[in-house]
Each structure stands twice: as structure tokens, then as C-alpha cells.
Amino acid sequence: MNSLESLPLKNQKVLVRLDLNVPIQDGNITDDNRILAVKPTLDSLIQKGAKIIILSHLGRVKTEEDKAKNSLKPVALRLSEVMNQPVTFIPETRGEVLEKAIDALNPGELLMVENTRYEDADGKKESGNDLELAKYWASLADVFVNDAFGTLHRAHASNVGIASLMTHKAPGLLIQKELDVFNEALKNPKRPFVAILGGAKVSDKIGVIKNLLSIADKVIVAGGMSYTFLKAQGYEIGTSLVEDDKLDLATSLMEEAEGKLEFAVDYKLTKAFDNNADIRIADYDDFKPDEMGLDIGPKSLEKFKAILKEANQVIWNGPVGVFEMSNFAKGTEGICEALASLDHATTIIGGGDSAAAAIQMGFKDSFTHISTGGGASLEFLEGKTLPGLKALE
């Protein structure tokens, strides 16, 4: 791949694909981490005299109602504050108004196009990698820079489509940083290397577990998917989340692991999926048929802390409990605290819910790296080829 430094940028129209898919409530952005993360790339383009045209998606758009609540306008306003300069916002994804605004750009100026997924409202043109749409967007610029790490695992018109049509193209500084961190961690790990995998489903992380078992020294499995492993061993799990069609797979993974897999030894149990429901802490072999596990227990947290204390590198993807509810967030918060205290270790959070939990709990600056891409980092950990990255070659 080309590097950002090698591209012809001065006085050139540069189409920049960013991942500005941030949470918005009542018109207010509740987490601007992804906006802050792209500032270095935009600063570099401004310094080099590029005319900058920004593409991003926001949420899912299938109807006119979805359009109304997923406009990028609030994002453009926040980006202008972060960049300390105006960001011209065009509430369209194509057309004469957009083209004239682009032609009027001066070097160092920023323009943001409306949500690329507006093109999905009358058919999956963006998410379906529509060639006509990709050709149109590519025609707006001379150079393409992709800095949307969070969408590298998707083959959309705004990343793969445009990149396949452009000669001058390269990843931005954020993607380069993400790749450097994950490549170093997986190809030259600091040992002992411990991986923590949480989240709801074994099926989402089969490939990740298999790949990390061949690289890591220990793999801690927690969160909703741990109950499938418990049931596979013949234990009662009550009404806990389970994938019955993955029980044989869980058994084979435990056999392949040769002792590398580590599980919780106690859980917070309740009879209702409710933050205010009565809680009972019980060992892994003491579930009642009408109980569900929603978090790890204190003995499990101490077990995991002891494993992590010895680690020189940790990669964490997926919370270990239902952290959105305060009474079931203690396990995830405890993992955050344990990792934050590892001054000697490289600590990497693989985006998604674990990143959201770490930031929400006040640990944003306590880790070596917090990835901006949940699905992309997951597929990278699995060893898959990311289509958005391949298109930049």
C-alpha cells in the first residue's frame, strides 16, 4: 500500500472516508472518541494543502424516518470544534449543490457530505457496493484516503468501491496506527500474552478463539458466551444465554485448548433481566433452573486479576457482564481497573462494547490502545483479510 506521505496532496481534491458513526441522543453526541481519533489525519491533509471532502456513515438507514434521525449535521458541528475551523456541511450525497461546493473549496478547507447510508434508503447502494455510486463519488476527487478502521471489514461503495477505482489512494494515520498495534501484538507478542474474550455469542468469536489459542498463553472466556461452555461440560445454567447448536463446538475448543482456556468460577445470578432484581452469587456448579447469569462473581474477578497480573500483553474484546446495568457492571469494571494498573504491560482493547465500557467507566487514557473498530478488530484478531484494506493495495 501507499503511505499518506507518498500521495500527491497539494491543491488536490482528497476524498477521505472516516468512521464518524458516533452515538447521538436528542441531537447531542454522547461519545466523540471516533471524531477525536481522525484529527491527526485531517491535520496532516490540511498542512499539505489538500481540499478535503469527508465521507462517513451514521447508523442504519432504510426509510425516510431513518434519514431524519441519522443526519451527520451534528457530527459536522462537533468536528468543526475539534478542528478549530469551519466544516462545510452539504445535506446531500450527490448532485449539483455538492459538486459546486467541492469546486469552491480552497486548500486546507473541510467539507462533509451527508450520511453515505442515505443511499440505502431506496436500495442498498452504499452497503451493497453499487458500482455506479462508487464511480460518482470517485469522480469528485483526485485522491482517496481511507481512515475508517471501523468499516474495513465491510465491502461498501464508500470504501471498497471508491478504492477499487482510484489510482492515488492510501490508508490514513488512524488505520496505520491500528494496523501497527495489532500486527505487533499478534506477530511479536510480549509474553505472557493473555486474551480476554467476552460478549454474547460463541458463534461471533469461534475464529478469534481458535486463532488466539495458537498465539496467546491464556485465553479468558467470559460474558454471555461462557454459559455455552458451561452447559457443554454438563452443568446447569438455568435461563442464561446459550447457543445449543454450538455445544459440540465448545467441547472441541476446550479439547484443542490444552489448558489455555480460563473460565469464571462464580457468577451473579438473578431471576429477571432487570437491574433491580434480587441477586445471588453462586459457584459455576450451583445454578438453579430459573436463574440466569448476568455477571462474573468476586472469586472469578480475583482469579482473572491474578492471571492478568503476570501478563506483559493483554488484548480484551467483549465485556464480561451486562455492563449497561450498574449491578452487573462490577466484573467489567474490575477488569478495567486490573488492566489500568498494569504499568509494565501492553494493554489493547479491541473496540466495540469493551471500548464503550472502558470509556464510559473513566478509563479512556489508562490503556496502551483502544481500537475504534469492534467488528474490524475482531476479524483482524481472527486472521481474516479485511476487504477495505485489500482495496487499498
Residues 195 and 246 in one domain: yes
Domain final residue pick, 147, 176, 205: 176
Answer yes or no: is 183 within a domain: no
Residues 168 and 217 in one domain: no
Active site residue 94: no
Residues 116 and 240 in one domain: no
Residues 27 and 57 in one domain: yes
Answer yes or no: is 389 within a domain: no
C-alpha triplet 109, 178, 393: angle, nearest 5° = 75
Of all helices (H) and strands (E), which one includes residue 249?
Answer: helix 247-257
Residues 134 and 195 in one domain: no
Closest by alpha carbon to 334, among 378, 303, 371? 303
Active site residue 293: no
Active site residue 201: yes
* Active-site choice (305, 375, 383, 384): 375
Residues 119 and 255 in one domain: no
Domain final residue pick, 176, 206, 225: 176
For residues 22 and 29, give the distance between their C-alpha atoms in angstroms, rounded to a whole number: 7
Q: Provide the residue range defining the domain that includes 160.
A: 4-176
Residues 170 and 206 in one domain: no
Answer yes or no: is 69 within a domain: yes
What's the CATH number where 118 sits?
3.40.50.1260
Residues 51 and 129 in one domain: yes
Residues 265 and 336 in one domain: yes
Answer yes or no: is 200 within a domain: yes
Domain count, the chain: 2
Of all helices (H) and strands (E), which one includes residue 359?
Answer: helix 352-360
Q: List Cβ<8 Å contacts ≥24 apart for 117-123.
A: 117/57, 117/58, 117/59, 117/60, 117/61, 117/70, 118/61, 118/67, 118/70, 118/93, 119/93, 119/157, 120/60, 120/61, 120/62, 121/61, 121/62, 121/63, 121/64, 121/66, 121/67
Residues 314 and 335 in one domain: yes
Active site residue 352: yes
* Active-site choice (13, 94, 201, 384): 201
Answer yes or no: is 118 within a domain: yes
**Backbone torsion region of residue 26, taken as left when φ is above 0, otherwise alpha when ψ lies between -120 and 50, otherwise beta:** left
Domain final residue pick, 143, 176, 209: 176
Residues 23 and 121 in one domain: yes
Residues 337 and 254 in one domain: yes
Look up residue 322 and give its amino acid.
Answer: V
* Active-site choice (321, 350, 352, 388): 352
Answer yes or no: is 220 within a domain: yes
Chain centroid to CA 316: 12
pTM score > 0.75 for this model? Answer: yes
Write the DSSP assignment of 91-147 as a string of letters. Answer: S-SSSHHHHHHHHTPPTT-EEEE--GGGGGBTBSTTTTT-HHHHHHHHHT-SEEEE-
Burial per residue of 21-46, b for 16 or more beta-carbon CB atoms within 10 angstroms, e otherwise: bbebeeeebeebebbebbebbbebbb
Answer yes or no: is 377 within a domain: yes
DSSP SS3 for 11: coil
Answer yes or no: is 387 within a domain: no
Each residue's pLDDT expressed in tens, for the chain with a length of 393 residues: 999 999 999 999 999 999 999 999 888 999 899 999 999 999 999 999 999 999 999 999 998 889 989 999 999 999 999 999 999 999 999 999 999 999 999 999 999 999 999 999 988 999 999 999 999 999 999 999 999 999 999 999 999 999 999 999 999 999 999 999 999 999 999 999 999 999 888 888 889 999 999 999 999 999 999 999 999 999 999 999 999 999 999 999 999 999 999 999 999 999 999 999 999 999 999 999 999 999 999 999 999 999 999 999 999 999 999 999 999 999 999 999 999 999 999 999 997 888 988 988 899 889 999 999 888 999 999 999 999 999 999
Sheet strands side by side (includes 292-296): 280-283, 266-270, 292-296
